[in-house]
Amino acid sequence: MGKLGYQRTKATLTLVVLMSVSFSHVEAFEFSFLGIKDPVHEKFSKLALRCLIENPEVEFADCESFVPKSKARKFQTSINNFGWLTTKNISNAVKWPDDPVRELRPYKILKMPVWLAHMSLKKCKNLKGGLKHGLRCSSHYGPAQFLHSMEFQKGEPIENTHSAILDWIEYSYLVASNEKEGENYFLQKNYCEFFQNRKSSYFRDVMYPNNGQDFPCNQTDETPWLVGTPYSFSCSIGIANCMSYKGENDKRIRLAALGAILHTIQDSYAKGHTHRGGESDDQINLYDCTPIKRFQVYGEQNTKRHGQADQTPLAGSSCSDAKINQTSIHGPITASSHILRLFSAGKPAIEVREYLAKHVFVIDHENAANADTTDYFKK
Ligand SMILES: [Zn+2]
């Protein structure tokens, strides 16, 4: 299926489209990113960038109810040879965590049925062991679910998931900003050395399994990974046949990492991912600007409910009435816009982490619980 091109007959195309429609009942977690039902991440990210374009001087622009007035869709960054950031670039990049090895690009519509069959029927069965089983399975069903602001392991203390998310974002930001240290760009750094030198953490254990004794750091016969390698794969369906981009300043890698940050932030407002409150049928698509009480565990959830909660999000009153200031919790569009502002201005990763710890990933310590699904999403 992956080898089909557009030049094939119309009948084949129609068949494939019909097949994909028949899969449309499968859960939105696997489906919504295809941009057919409800391209939430793309919408949020485009609005976030346009809000920045129209409010370049405001420190904290309130973007939750932002309606663009201008047609401008690109912003000149001043960060390390990145150049323009456009709505097209960022809305494409923010989908990276849904298809982290680019199996569906190009010819998404043609490859989708096989991909969906893999994801919804097999659910990465026996492939949840982390990086050695590929990023698609580790991020959707395995231990790298922090890409989606979720937790893999029931009972994991909230602080651990919280740190893993912030570590993931900080790492992604280092890749996206690609600072030059002396003669060398960050993207030229060796992946395994980078993680070897970090102190032990949940995030490090996932990215550098078994203290470097497992894939990808125990390979002697393969090209060593660089720090940008996780964002660089382009595979046909399945991870057996992949190539990876290289280059000391590859914009595709930098954009994927930037998109990954916005994606993680935005997912943390979806009630099936991160519990911030208000779970009932009439509130499930309203997102809250309140602190986090629990990270959800997808494996414990009714996937249909999870999917429904991912669709058509609207700002709840805690977000629409929120004062955007130094202490409040910001909504997903406002926060995404602020990250793009920090990135465009070449601010350091630590500033991004501090902003998110204060305005997005705030734990409600009094009501915090270890990872599990909330009752609303229970199987
Ligand atoms: Zn996600």
Distance 263 CA to ligand 1 centre (A): 6
Pairing of strands 184-185, 74-76: unpaired
Distance 3 CA to ligand 1 centre (A): 27
User: Nearest Cα to 176, choosing from 243, 244, 249?
Assistant: 249
Per-residue pLDDT reduced to its tens digit, 169-202: 999 999 999 999 899 999 999 999 999 999 999 9
Distance 267 CA to ligand 1 centre (A): 5
Distance 147 CA to ligand 1 centre (A): 7
Distance 183 CA to ligand 1 centre (A): 36
Distance 148 CA to ligand 1 centre (A): 4
Distance 152 CA to ligand 1 centre (A): 13
Distance 134 CA to ligand 1 centre (A): 16
Sign of CA dihedral 50, 353, 153, 370: negative
Distance 262 CA to ligand 1 centre (A): 10
Distance 244 CA to ligand 1 centre (A): 22
Distance 31 CA to ligand 1 centre (A): 11
Distance 339 CA to ligand 1 centre (A): 17
Distance 264 CA to ligand 1 centre (A): 7
Count CB atoms within 10 A of the CB of residue 3. 10
H-helix or E-strand containing 85?
Answer: strand 84-86
pLDDT tens, N- to C-terminus, the chain (379 residues):
222 233 333 333 333 333 333 333 333 334 444 455 568 999 999 999 999 999 998 877 889 989 999 999 999 999 999 999 999 999 999 999 998 988 887 777 777 777 777 777 777 888 888 999 888 889 989 999 999 999 999 999 999 999 999 999 999 999 999 999 899 999 999 999 999 999 999 999 999 999 999 999 998 777 899 999 999 998 876 666 788 888 888 999 999 999 999 999 999 999 999 999 989 998 999 999 999 999 999 999 998 899 889 888 999 989 877 677 677 899 999 999 999 999 999 999 999 999 999 999 999 999 999 999 999 999 9
Q: What whole-number distance in Å separates Cα of residue 217 and Cα of residue 227?
A: 12
Distance 33 CA to ligand 1 centre (A): 8
Q: What whole-number distance in Å separates Cα of residue 301 and Cα of residue 313?
A: 19
Distance 138 CA to ligand 1 centre (A): 13
Sign of CA dihedral 95, 101, 107, 108: negative
Distance 143 CA to ligand 1 centre (A): 14
Per-residue burial over 124-145, b = 16 or more CB atoms within 10 Å of its CB, e = otherwise: beebbbbbebbbbbbbbbbbbb
Distance 180 CA to ligand 1 centre (A): 30
Distance 165 CA to ligand 1 centre (A): 12
Distance 35 CA to ligand 1 centre (A): 13
- Contact residues for 222 (Cβ-Cβ < 8 A; gap 6+): 216
Distance 221 CA to ligand 1 centre (A): 33
Residue pair 368/294 in contact by the 8 Å Cβ criterion: yes
- Determine the longest span between alpha carbons in the chain, in angstroms: 61
